[in-house]
Chains A and B, each alone.
Chain A
Amino acid sequence: MAKRLLIILTLFLLALMFWDVVASYSEKQQLAPVAAHYVGQGPDELGAPNLVTAVVVAYRGLDTLGEVTVLFLAALAVGLLLGTGASERNTGPANPASEIVETAVEYLFPIALLFGVYIFINGHLSPGGGFQGGAVIASASLLLFLALPGVRLRHALLSAIESLSGFSYVLVGLLGLVLAGGFLDNRALPLGDYGALFSAGTIPIIYTLIGLKVGAELSVVVERFRGNA
């Protein structure tokens, strides 16, 4: 009972703290100076219409490299925890899906894959990007596992894709160090026409690499959780 009281007291004090923030909050009327610079100069400096992508890939590209590393470590940890013990878990034979679901998934899987690729290639033009596209690819794999329990991923191929794209990401970053202003600077390649598919320097290349890496990584993570992998 005392524990319950302590929990309620903790939550009450937290709520009091939060209430102070909400009460003193007023909606902003204009951008902060840094954001104003990104919005005002970003399109000219980097040539990417989607400013969130410009911030993620170029202005704060190092954060994204760290983020990709964290995701890689998480995938590694999941593989370490579930990889070896997984075969001992007897989940039993999975029930096969009905023929309608199987056929539908066989048609939908390439379309979902293509949609994921579309999202990460257009990341600098429209809402989307490498992580979002990679997540769509991973959910396509999840759909495949749900409908066809017997299907296996080719882990060797996927880890080759993953490590190659991670390596190329750093390589493209170093290219910015040599040809432009600094590590991960996207102006290593010409900026091209504003709003065209092949524009904004190395941003589409980096987002494609991130999309491939995240898609491969998350597909393997999803398969690990399936159990009888």
Chain B
Amino acid sequence: MTVWAALASPRYLISSWPWRSYAYLLTSVPMGAVSIVVLVGLAALSAVLSPILIGILMLTAFPLVGAVIGWVERRRAGMMLVDGIKSPHAKLPAGLTRRAKLTFRRREQASMRALGYGFVLGVFVWPLSALFAGLSVTILLTTLASPVIADGDQMGMGPWTMDTAEEGLLFLVLFGPPYYVVSSYLLGVIAGAEASLARAMLGPRQEELQRNLAELRRSRLDLVDAFETERVRIERHLHDGVQQRLVGLTMTLGLAELDLPDGEGRRLVVKAHSEAEAALADLRAAVRGIHPRVLVDHGLEAAVREVADRMPLPVTLQLSVPTRLPGPIEAAAYFVVSEALANVAKHAQASTCEVTGWVDRDRLVITVQDDGVGGAQLGAGTGLTGLVTRLDALGGTLDVDSPSGGPTRLRMECPCQLGD
């Protein structure tokens, strides 16, 4: 509901809108006066102080004054605009110092617009409001009081002159209602225009909305990408370093076994050998959880097949993903399938499981369905919750349909491109 819609309504005159319009116009008088005094005062002060540099520095603070005016005005506009005006300012990046926050706000275009609005308010809007609303309120109050005034004094209202209380009452009855009607509509239009001006200058521009959204998405993607890069780096480090050394160690121990005669020494070497192999197996499992090498080398299908092959239950795999996808997407999909299969093996009491994947209009879709007992939930402390966040950053979704009694069906969707 805006004042424009209210003006068209037949109930306008008996609604709260005429009074809101008065209130909005009248409050703009002190607000505008204060704004212009502050702005002009600051400008004068900085002009005076400009020889000692501080005056010039003060000029840079003007957009911040604008931002403050904007903040107050957006709230005041709530009288006329039911939804208020949304802030055009970008969300402050986390971890900034107070100084950096102020610099950030100062440089925003929205702050400059608010400053401009402050001048418009101080120079044009409030005198206009004062003129119309002030005059109208005066006439209205005088009309209401006319029986009393005319009783004791001669009272002239435009072309009419009233001498008695009866004449005053007649004037009130005849002139009052038509005047209220005309002035309410007139002030409604003026207040509506002022509120629209405030919204146009203080509200977020379309591109600001989109920019904020895009920035947010970009930064989340960057984060996911950074994690992915880091995982690959760790994996490479473990693979090329520790893992090779462990393989080398098992070789040496294997050789030593050949040379040693039967006895305690040989028994210990054999033990050391099997311990080194256990360490190697552990390391391999850990690396797989970080970022499996087969995913980097051979892509999603080969990596998922490897996971499926390790499952204790038969897994049917039908993946038709024609090309390699960007790393973070492949990794997210891999870990979703991997986690889903692990859950099936652990909780579902299923006898078979089916993984199906395809690309539909540039979106990767993967479903994992079992024939188990169901009752699975996304939030219930599963490893899938973290993956939902990860997918979300990529613009993807994860849904689990698992009625009690089964079966469980998990479906993930994700765009095939990063940051479109």
A binds B: no
B residues with CB within 8 A of A: none
A residues with CB within 8 A of B: none
